[in-house]
Structure 1
Amino acid sequence: MSNRDKTTKRRNSKTKGIYSRERALYSSIIICIIFLALIGRLTYIMIYKNKEYKHMAQGQWNSQVTVEADRGDIKDRSGSILATSIDVYRVDLDLKAIDTYITDEEIAKDKVVESLATASGLTIDEVNKKLNPINEEGIEVKTSTLITGIEKEVADKIKALDIYGVIISINPKRYYPNNNFLAHVLGGVNSDNVGLNGVELEYNAQLKGLAGYKIAEVDGSLKELPFQTIKYASPVNGNDVTLTIDENIQLMAEKAAEKGFEDNKAKEVSIIVMNPNNGEILAMVNKPDFNPNNPYEEYEKFDGENDFEKLQNMFRNSAISNNFEPGSTFKNITMAAAIEEGVAHENDTFYCDGGVKFGSTTIKCWNTAGHGTQTLPQILQNSCNVGFMELGSRLGSAKLREYIDKFEFGKLTKIDLPGESEGIIKSVSDMSEMDLATISFGQTNTVSSIQLMRAFNAIANGGTLIQPHMMKEISHEASNGTKVIDEQFNPIIEKSIISEATTATLRDYLERTINQGQEIGAFMGKDRRVGGKTGTAQKVDPILGGYSADKYIASVVALYPVENPQVTIFIKVEDPSAGNYYGGPVTTPILKSLLSEIFTYMDSQVYTERYSYKNKVVVPELRGKSVNEAKKILENSKLNIDIGKDTSKVTNMEPYPGSLVEENAVISLNVDDYKNDIDKLIMPDLKGKTLEEATNILNSLEITYKTNGSGVVESQDVIAGKLIEKGTKVKLDLK
């Protein structure tokens, strides 16, 4: 090899060495950059994305389960349960998990379908649809509900299949122990236990409660690990709603309505029974009705062009939702106005020759031969249209409309049930002379049954218009078992819309009317002084217009006892088709039957006990006082005591101070494992109380206050029932 070749070889080797070192350097730099990037990324994840990835990780091994709150019960006035909740089960499907199960177990999907169908009682087609659901957009979904409302026995059969992705959980179901009883008032709930109609809808917020949750660790198959609950938030159960309904009177009304419905071959029968002195509804029934436990099995017997209309008509509470021309039951209002205004007196005479002519049109009396000469009470007794047209003429359209407004026809009664209708009332400017005549005896204007009852109650109670209502109180049970009253219904009251003297005179006339001119007591006996008025109204033909030739509404309103009414009744029979359609022959047999049962009940000890008033007491503040002092305070408040830990001072108490309870309720002191806040109390409801009553309560709770005005408490700036801190100051406005 020449020297030149050797030199070239050394040069090439040197160059290769340099390149090798450069490559090593560059590789080291790249590795360092990658390593630094990884460190940076790891630092970013650990510091800045820590919470996000922690939550994502927890989501892989934590399972959050909703803990449903118990829906409150609905009870009658004495505590009998009308609606409650029972535990049933639901089965949900995690479709991806089921696909994984099928793959891992190497089992045919048809076999899974067959097993689920056999265990659940569903058909194979139904299970197939649940396992292959498509949403409204035509997209496959990830989860599906197989079945709800099943008993434990069925749930256990499905659980025994041990199919990964089949999830079984408790699903409370609403249960109505008396089936059709009070159906239109109670209403119902949907599959999620949310109120759909009736009391269930009106008081859904109070009944539903607040769901809690449980977060637990799960294994790879989503099964909860034992003793691994991470977090638990207790549900807040719903409150109970106690109605004004008396289950005994309701049962009597249900039986009377059913018999009236069948005997008269009617389209519908409605009955309302009330206490006229406080607006409480003691019974409300419509026949036909439905079973809220299985409502969708009965809708086809109701009128409607399609299933939706039939369902709506089935759920419709016609006692508050349907308007009709009241007929002769409205004559009570016309007569009350005439007596109050002094345009008619007992010995005034009215001549009926069978009708009154308005231009070329004759408005006829129901007795086309005429009643001849009658006095004021006799035109009510004879239900003479001509006599009432004369009363209307004496009053005039403006004055009659004034009394229609006083009795608040054409306005909602604000009854605490959904679906109330207002009715239609003609204005004075639209009222012709003929309209005035027909309105005076109960045609042209339309009303609802509950509006008619509110007005009739004012005649019964001496002239006070009172809001009808279904709720008596809302309550919950404290941890020591004592019933705490969260809210009581305070009806809207309009005093003295007519004088007590006018109502007394009219009640006397109503007693003569129901006895049909015979000796007082002919209707139900001398010791049973009943007053009442029947009515017959033609229905409007919705297709032809004008009045139908064969469709009528027969009705009656009644009160008992005449001298001091405690009960009012309204009965309406729509489209009777058994021969009679007049109010008297159709409704008085129903009324007599119902009254006979009510009389027997009112004479009983059971009735006396049910309607004896139970005094309510605001729980005083006892914390910090000696046990002996607390005992004396509770004894003076007519409350019972239960002492837990044996200490000289009161450290805690249940229920909270400020809670409203009934006399003789148990107040627990120094409770073991006490969970309430010892520095809080309940703000009591002071509305309607005198200044002395209100300040006595506030002083017993050690609440400071400021007052404005005089009289009774009209409002308070701290909401009643609110949990407040000790030392909270309240302002009371009195009027």
Structure 2
Amino acid sequence: MARGEYRDKVLVKRRMLGVFFILFLLFFLLVSRLSYVMIVKGKDYKEMAILQWTSDVRIAPQRGRILDRNEKELAISANVFRVDLDLNSLRDTTSKNKLTMAGIAPDLAKILGMESKNVLSILTQTNAKGKPIGAAILKRRIDKDIADKIVDYAKSNKLRGIVITGDTKRYYPNNNFLANVIGHTNSDGNGLTGVELYYDKYLSGVPGINLSETDRKSEALPYKISDYTKPINGKDVVLTIDEMIQYFCEKAATQAMIDNKAAAVTIIAMNPKNGEILGMANKPGYNPNDPWDLTKSFDENQKAWRNRAVSDTFEPGSIFKVVTATAAMEEKLVTDSDRFVCNGSTVVAGKTIKCWKTTGHGAQSFVDILKNSCNVGFMELGRRLGPEKLNKYIYLFGLGKKTGIDLNGEASGIIRPTKSMTTLDVATTSFGQSNTLSCVQYLTAFNAIANGGKLITPHVMKEIINYDDLNNKKVLQSYSNFNERRIIDESVTKQLRADLEQVIESGGGKKAYIAGYHIAGKTGTAQKISSTGPGYAPQKYVSSFAGMAPANDPQITLLINIDEPNPSNYYGGQIATVVAKQVFNDIFNYLSLKSDASSEEIGKSLLRDIIVPEVRGLKRAEAQKILKDNNLKLKLTTGGEVITDMTPKPGYTVKEGTEIILHTDTKVEYSNSVIVPNVKGNSPEKASEMLNSLGLKVQFIGNGIVSEQSVEGTEVKKGTTITLHLDIMAD
């Protein structure tokens, strides 16, 4: 072969290889690019494509209702409207009609009552990569007239992409009724506090979606492919709350705040057999329809929303004595024949600790130290128990840890560790100081005495239900987390209930007595721990009462907690018992609980005690007005103008509605004798006012409120000096 011909073939071959390499390289680059586009960037380009040729509108589900145990509506969702934006369509039509987002923002803001800059921010919103988003929510929960104005504005400006759809707005028909338990939702309709938050996953439902195909001008295609997913509405939550019992608690709590000028009042009513909360009132409350009070700070609003029955703790005072009593009985460290001598104080670890009654209770039985709420007697029980056994029962009753109630924000309380308890700590703990607990913790423990010794988790949810299109009810879930366990022997609880019944019949809780219903309970008064430093806050107390009825087989338990009542009258036996009596009576009538007393006896026991005022020496008209103001009736025996005598005598304690017999004459001459009334539990000012009005003089010994008086219930001459012993009564 010629040498030139050989060179030409080699050159052609090289050129062919070169061309082939270039083609291969181009093919490789093309495949690489396609792989990058389809695999690496495929998801992003798909999203961009979908945004270009689809319209995506979210459809909000209807939030489930919150109902009381009889399915009365406590929280519902009303039908309103929302403004959604298909921003692809809106951008195209604003450009087509020579408009701008900045130009239409003020108009939309004016109709919707929004700030123009906020509307513009939504209209021009971008994603994380800085690219315009395809859809947004402009405003939710607008009324029909506003929605109509938006539709008219869009039509008049030939704007597409402003979509009006149905929406729901949370509404609480009873305003602040049960507010701290129900809670409320945020601006997006999600639970923020209370039941709304705890059961949000059941109440909220699942949003729907309407996805439709559009052309390049964002106009719907005649052959469009639509994807519509129907929203799944939320489920209804049925509470254990009974609307009527809640009403009784709310009414009494409101009145107690007013009567006692208190900072706050909490009342809980429960079924001790299954842990169901039938009523839980916190006053002052708030209106969940308008939860943000603009006159308050952020912290103040947060405080108003807080469920104090669950979230706040306090030193229980003497209501804690039922725990100490149970422990001593269960450990067989006390019998009915034991005697406790109270001289007004006792020395523990070199420190003198006073009983609330500094003059002493004298010799008492075990039942007596319960009835008299004797601190000295309970310190002796604490000594017998020691720190290990005392704390054993504190923990058995579930104190110092969360109960597991189905409400957010529950506090644990503070229990002094056993290993760090001194002899002094045991003494103070035994009568209700040193440790802290919440209202719901205490009533859960108290329920164990009422139900025969079982600790049961308190709860507000009864069941989750749903109604189908034919209005057929389906129970999806019933409350089951009872965690029931026996902690006390049944015979011990039976005996203790009988002892606590005597507290109401003739002890410190007698102002809660209602004939024939056999209420058992315990009062308590405790100083508040200072929020600014160690020790107790001066002139600040918590007054409490815990009760159950009927004592032999309790159907209802009740806790009254009055925070910072008027320091002139703060004793639990004086003020908390009165509130409990009102609530118990309402509940007994509502539940038709039977009494073994006659209606006349019941009616009499419900009447308030009135001290007969002095009206002798007054004219008939004046006397008549004074007696009427005190809810007393009168009967005149003669036709004289001036009251010369009366039966019963001034100072005598009678029930309201009692008839007072007045004797009249023309001369102003009358007996100089009066009855010395019982003024125990009153402030010095109130006691002075009562005794001075009868013509008696007063001498005080000590500080605090009246714990003892030198004369009581006997007839004395006017001008007699009555000695009143005062004590700081934290029983």
TM over 0.5: yes
C-alpha displacement of 1:142: 8.3
Q: Which residue of 577, 599, 602 corresponds with 2:566?
A: 577
Structure-1 residue corresponding to 2:548: 559
C-alpha displacement of 1:233: 2.5
C-alpha displacement of 1:213: 2.1
**Preserved CA contact (<8 Å) 2:504 2:510:** no
Structure-2 residue corresponding to 1:412: 402
Structure-1 residue corresponding to 2:185: 189
Structure-2 residue corresponding to 1:548: 537
**Preserved CA contact (<8 Å) 1:164 1:221:** no
C-alpha displacement of 1:362: 1.5
Structure-1 residue corresponding to 2:289: 293
C-alpha displacement of 1:538: 0.7
Q: Which residue of 374, 382, 393 corresponds with 1:392?
A: 382
2:586 corresponds to 1:597: yes
CA distance in 2, matches of 1:231, 1:142: 17
CA distance in 2, matches of 1:130, 1:230: 26
CA distance in 2, matches of 1:439, 1:335: 12
Structure-1 residue corresponding to 2:474: 484
**Preserved CA contact (<8 Å) 2:514 2:581:** no
C-alpha displacement of 1:400: 1.0
**Preserved CA contact (<8 Å) 1:279 1:491:** no
**Preserved CA contact (<8 Å) 2:57 2:86:** no
CA distance in 2, matches of 1:585, 1:116: 61
CA distance in 1, matches of 2:439, 2:227: 53
Q: Which residue of 526, 549, 553 corresponds with 2:515?
A: 526
RMSD: 3.6
CA distance in 2, matches of 1:48, 1:139: 20
CA distance in 1, matches of 2:437, 2:584: 25
> Which stretch of the first structure deviates more once superposed, 398-407 or 573-582?
573-582
Scaled by the length of structure 2, the TM-score of the pair is 0.71
Q: Which residue of 135, 139, 159 corresponds with 1:147?
A: 139
> Which stretch of the first structure deviates more once superposed, 565-574 or 120-129?
120-129
Q: Secondary structure of the equivalent of 1:346?
A: coil
**Preserved CA contact (<8 Å) 1:149 1:173:** yes
CA distance in 2, matches of 1:389, 1:604: 38
Q: Which residue of 155, 164, 168 corresponds with 1:168?
A: 164
Structure-2 residue corresponding to 1:380: 370
Q: Secondary structure of the equivalent of 1:195?
A: coil
C-alpha displacement of 1:137: 13
Q: Which residue of 105, 110, 118 corresponds with 2:97?
A: 105
Structure-2 residue corresponding to 1:401: 391
C-alpha displacement of 1:104: 3.8
Distance 1:241 1:229, change over 3 A: farther
Structure-2 residue corresponding to 1:652: none
CA distance in 2, matches of 1:227, 1:480: 35
Q: Secondary structure of the equivalent of 2:524?
A: strand
Q: Secondary structure of the equivalent of 1:351?
A: strand
2:447 corresponds to 1:441: no
2:78 corresponds to 1:91: no
CA distance in 1, matches of 2:466, 2:556: 30
Q: Deviations over 1:16-37 (max 9, x none)?
A: xxxxxxxxxxxxx9xxx9xx99
> Which stretch of the first structure deviates more once superposed, 284-293 or 435-444?
284-293
1:60-71 aligned within 5 A: 60-71=52-63
CA distance in 2, matches of 1:517, 1:509: 10
C-alpha displacement of 1:58: 4.9
Q: Deviations over 1:350-375 (max 9, x none)?
A: 11111122344221111111111111
Q: Secondary structure of the equivalent of 2:281?
A: strand
**Preserved CA contact (<8 Å) 2:319 2:546:** yes
CA distance in 1, matches of 2:141, 2:222: 27
Structure-2 residue corresponding to 1:216: 212
Distance 1:556 1:226, change over 3 A: farther
Distance 1:139 1:56, change over 3 A: closer
CA distance in 2, matches of 1:94, 1:58: 12
C-alpha displacement of 1:91: 2.7
Distance 1:240 1:288, change over 3 A: same
Distance 1:279 1:161, change over 3 A: same
Structure-1 residue corresponding to 2:456: 466
CA distance in 2, matches of 1:320, 1:274: 14
Q: Which residue of 419, 433, 439 corresponds with 1:429?
A: 419
> Which stretch of the first structure deviates more once superposed, 231-240 or 221-230?
221-230
CA distance in 2, matches of 1:288, 1:525: 28
Structure-2 residue corresponding to 1:267: 263
Q: Which residue of 352, 356, 368 corresponds with 2:358?
A: 368
Structure-2 residue corresponding to 1:3: none
Amino acid at match of 1:376: F
**Preserved CA contact (<8 Å) 2:511 2:577:** no
Structure-2 residue corresponding to 1:14: none
Q: Which residue of 252, 265, 272 corresponds with 1:276?
A: 272
Q: Which residue of 194, 197, 206 corresponds with 1:198?
A: 194
> Which stretch of the first structure deviates more once superposed, 168-177 or 588-597?
168-177
> Which stretch of the first structure deviates more once superposed, 474-483 or 593-602?
474-483
**Preserved CA contact (<8 Å) 1:176 1:292:** yes
Q: Secondary structure of the equivalent of 1:171?
A: strand
Q: Secondary structure of the equivalent of 2:531?
A: coil
Q: Secondary structure of the equivalent of 1:457?
A: helix
Distance 1:387 1:448, change over 3 A: same
Distance 1:219 1:595, change over 3 A: farther
**Preserved CA contact (<8 Å) 1:468 1:491:** no
C-alpha displacement of 1:235: 2.8
Structure-2 residue corresponding to 1:456: 446
Which runs of 5 or more residues in structure 2 are unaligned? 1-18, 595-731
Scaled by the length of structure 1, the TM-score of the pair is 0.70
CA distance in 1, matches of 2:101, 2:198: 46
Distance 1:521 1:224, change over 3 A: farther
Amino acid at match of 1:457: N
Amino acid at match of 2:537: S
Q: Secondary structure of the equivalent of 1:550?
A: strand
C-alpha displacement of 1:416: 1.1
Amino acid at match of 1:346: D
Q: Deviations over 1:103-135 (max 9, x none)?
A: 543458776345324422346576566667799
Distance 1:267 1:592, change over 3 A: same
C-alpha displacement of 1:256: 0.9
> Which stretch of the first structure deviates more once superposed, 147-156 or 476-485?
476-485
CA distance in 1, matches of 2:337, 2:443: 29
C-alpha displacement of 1:468: 0.7
> Which stretch of the first structure deviates more once superposed, 476-485 or 151-160?
476-485
C-alpha displacement of 1:377: 0.9
C-alpha displacement of 1:564: 0.7
CA distance in 2, matches of 1:95, 1:209: 26
Distance 1:407 1:123, change over 3 A: closer
Amino acid at match of 1:90: R
CA distance in 2, matches of 1:401, 1:550: 30
Amino acid at match of 1:466: I
Which runs of 5 or more residues in structure 1 are unaligned? 1-28, 302-306, 606-735
**Preserved CA contact (<8 Å) 1:464 1:493:** no
C-alpha displacement of 1:569: 0.3
Q: Deviations over 1:540-597 (max 9, x none)?
A: 1122311122111111001011111000000111111262111122211211111121
Percent identical among aligned pairs is 44
**Preserved CA contact (<8 Å) 1:521 1:527:** no
C-alpha displacement of 1:169: 3.2
